[in-house]
Structure 1
Amino acid sequence: MVTNYEGCADEAERQPFVVHDIIYDAENYKAYLTADQKDWEEVAHSYTLKVGHMPLTPNHRLLMERDLVPRDTDFTMSLASSYDKNLFSATVGGWETSVDAVIRTTGKLNVDFDVDVSWFKLSSASMTIKPEDVAASVQLALTEKGTLSKAYNWEKTIISIPISGIEIAKVVKLGAFLDVDVGFTMDEWTGEAHANLGARVAISDSAIVVVDLIKSSNNKFSGWMPTFTPIPLTLSAKVEGSAEVFAAPNVKLEASALGKGWNVGLNLKMPYIEANFAAMAESTGVCNTKKTLGVDIDANIGVELYAQAATKGNEGDPFWRQSLYVSQPELTVIRRLF
């Protein structure tokens, strides 16, 4: 017997009971049941369950109005985040740096978690992830002064967001987390300047990754080639140096069924930017002009997209890891004369 009577369970939760005796009161049209309360995982011996994104048809909406289907049929993970402030300032020997950043992530992931159980045994479990309007952009304003003789590295998680999950009858759970990491490396630098650089990367809505949590050979993915939009680079003075920056939205999806748990992660290094500044000086003029100073700037934009899956508690040792897309950096050459 399954009930959602308020005296037996929460209003939104149906509670199963195993009935082992019934006494009928024919005169008063009543039946008295002797039953033991059970957990769903004790009585649901065979079932197929789909948790996730389900586009609503007109028929679904009609049933929702009659309270015949759940209203929360979708599990979507928002990737929307923003950061607009100073990343860090530092002094290393005779080199001073300050980096301001404007970082945006947009869109969402539609997530499906499918489970098939037969007589209390897990027959299949899989997760399907589809992006929708997913993009990330990073724009940096660098203020650099002095000489840096060895590489300087900085990395930090600037945004960490837990996403509300779904739990069904304490049998199936689905949750999510979003971290946005930013890294900056300056390999060398000579001079004093202000520089701005940035890029935006977008993922197609046709992208998909399917992770079979029981048999990895069934995993598949497609459509993860991104589009790049560089943000025009500016520079205020003659300098020499090399810098790299990346923004990386990292997604972790946690799922469990019948006491077994998994973690599926998306590590999206999108975008990363490499910029090399080479000073030019020529008393007779550079680039066939009368200007005697200049800078050649080679700016590369790229992405690295990975997916992985691990059993819960073994996240450091995933049983599956796959490159979804690793780009050849797109080169932009800029020449600035002074």
Structure 2
Amino acid sequence: MAYAATTLISLLALSGQAAGGLTRQYSSHPNNGKRSGDLISFSQRTSGDSLLSQTVENPVVLQPVRPGYKTGKKKRDSQSPFDLLEEDTLYWAGEDGTIAELRLEMVGESEAFVDIEYFEDRIESISCPQDGDGKITIDFVDENDLGAASEIWNWVTENPDNSFVIMIGAGDCGWNTERVLYSVQGLDFNSDTKTVLLQADPVSWKQAIHSYDLNIGKAALHENQTSLARRGWFEDLFNGVINANPDLSVPFNIDLSGTKLPFDINGVSISGSCSNCSTSGSFDVEAQFRVRWFEIEEAWVELSTPGVNSVAIIDINVQGDFTDKLFEGSITLFKASPAGISIPNILTIGPTVGVSLSAGVSAINGNVTLTVGGTSTIPPSTARLDFLNEQNTKSEGWTPIFEPTPIKVDAHVQVNATAALNAAVGLEISALETGFVADLEAKLPYLTAALKALLSTTCTACEKFQTAVEGSIDIGISVGVALKQKIAGSLTNLWSLQLYDAKIPLVDFCEAVGPQPETCSA
């Protein structure tokens, strides 16, 4: 026997406005139990099923910043701008204010680093080999500067093993749009033309920099923030940077209203629409990588939110013939790639955000209109995701605050139903060609409703009705992260962290359905 059922599931999640009417108040009392029930998952999608939106924005390319003051540990005590450095700190910034800091080390006896950005104002011109081996020609403005540079750089000729890496600033070669590196093994000077010729080979950042600290977001400013601020360093750093803000922020502002949700499974047709669905908020990203002699010693990402809100009122129509097995389906409503950040050849961070709806129904017997919902807020929260040490992967917050909306039932029905609005934020990070992936996924929240129709000729349904529906509503939330390492295009699972997983009983109810005989009210 074929029959049809209509299920209206109204899910109001993450601090949205209630869908009218009074709300029942309750205190949150999470437990560690996971959702029970044998769910039959499916992933089939009809040909007409499509995402509401799928966009990929170009990354924000961070530009080199040349502040007037830079720190560097020198090989010698001369404090000359031409010095051979054991360490140097480089900065990049975007127009949105995002900052990245790279602190490199070259502490070996036969290696050093030269940063042309220290003395670019003393150079008349530079000629650089664009491909292959060749000579870098540097014409100095003043003969005294040529003499100072020759005295220091002549160190490279003192031992056949000696070499130094020279960094040339963006645009200084005429053709280079980014900072470029060369390995220098020898040199010649011409005092008549105030010229130095460097025998140099182009090298990549990965080849040249064996030890470094790479910091993104607020981590780029923590260590030296106080001392540099006193020197007015930030005024130089942010010169020309619009709305300076060290945060790397992934927006989470999505409007899904009007989205159609059709899919089929096992002869059951499910269709509906998102009558009022939206999310708002953001996730801030902070990251740090520490590498010594090409070995990763530290790699972590901190994902935080000042708070995330959403509203989801979803109408679902179910038609088919099924009895007692609870099936659950999921459909992606939205997937987008907001603009990430990029430093060519050094760093790439590509975020993705997505929202999907999952719903399940079982044991339909008759027609039903079910309205369940609630409000939920994820407060300011933080999770530190450590790619190398699971013990350092931890979180703070992520405990939602719930407020349910009134339950509405209209039919003779026996049904179990579930609904969830699932939000996901993904990050793929590649630092000097070493890649990691972090995924944060949240069910915000999931609702489980169990209903049963009652019929009593003696008016004992719900103690005083002839026809009624009794049942219960449970609400839960699950927030977790998964960490992976990307090597040669293949992902290897590292570990995952469940930030929050709880099932909370909201309410038991027994409601009258339809007109009641006068004898029941006597």
Query: Shorter-chain TM-score category?
Result: 0.7 to 0.9
Deviation at 1:258, TM superposition (A): 3.9
The equivalent of 1:200 in structure 2 is 375
The equivalent of 2:342 in structure 1 is 167
Alignment pair present for 1:121 and 2:287: no
The equivalent of 2:496 in structure 1 is 321
The equivalent of 1:216 in structure 2 is 390
Deviation at 1:60, TM superposition (A): 7.1
Change (3 A) 1:145 1:192: farther
Which runs of 5 or more residues in structure 1 are unaligned?
Answer: none
Counterpart code for 1:74: D
Deviates more, 1:106-115 or 1:255-264: 255-264
Counterpart code for 2:278: R
Match among 282, 302, 305 for residue 479 of structure 2: 305
Deviates more, 1:136-145 or 1:323-332: 136-145
Alignment pair present for 1:112 and 2:112: no
Deviates more, 1:140-149 or 1:275-284: 140-149
Deviation at 1:208, TM superposition (A): 1.9
Q: What SS is found at the alignment partner of 1:66?
A: coil
Deviation at 1:324, TM superposition (A): 1.0
2:480–2:498 Cα contact (<8 Å) kept: yes
Match among 232, 235, 238 for residue 62 of structure 1: 235
Give the aligned CA root-mean-square deviation in angstroms.
3.2
Change (3 A) 1:8 1:198: farther
The equivalent of 1:14 in structure 2 is 179
More strand by share: 1
Counting only pairs closer than 5 Å after superposition, residues 116-265 of structure 1 correspond to structure 2 as 116-143=290-317, 148-151=322-325, 152-205=327-380, 207-265=381-439
Q: What SS is found at the alignment partner of 1:319?
A: strand
The equivalent of 1:4 in structure 2 is 170
Which runs of 5 or more residues in structure 2 are unaligned?
Answer: 1-165, 515-522
Name which structure has the greater RCO, CA cutoff 8 Å, separation 6+.
2
Name the TM-score, length of structure 2 as normaliser. 0.57
The equivalent of 2:38 in structure 1 is none
1:142–1:195 Cα contact (<8 Å) kept: no
Deviation at 1:320, TM superposition (A): 1.1
2:307–2:377 Cα contact (<8 Å) kept: yes
Deviation at 1:43, TM superposition (A): 2.2
Deviates more, 1:155-164 or 1:33-42: 33-42
Q: What SS is found at the alignment partner of 1:318?
A: strand
Q: What SS is found at the alignment partner of 1:86?
A: coil
Spell out, residue by residue over 1:180-211, the C-alpha distance to the aligned partner (whole angstroms, 9 max, x if none). 22211111111223333233332221x22212
2:462–2:470 Cα contact (<8 Å) kept: no
The equivalent of 2:212 in structure 1 is 47
Name the TM-score, length of structure 1 as normaliser. 0.84
Deviation at 1:144, TM superposition (A): 5.2
1:139–1:231 Cα contact (<8 Å) kept: no
- Higher radius of gyration, 1 or 2: 2
Spell out, residue by residue over 1:255-288, the C-alpha distance to the aligned partner (whole angstroms, 9 max, x if none). 2234332211112122111111221222343445
Q: How many matched pairs?
A: 333
- What is the CA–CA distance in structure 1 between the aligned matches of 2:220 and 2:290, rounded to whole Å? 21
- What is the CA–CA distance in structure 1 between the aligned matches of 2:345 and 2:378, rounded to whole Å? 35
Counterpart code for 2:366: G
- What is the CA–CA distance in structure 2 between the aligned matches of 1:173 and 1:320, rounded to whole Å? 22
Deviation at 1:143, TM superposition (A): 4.2
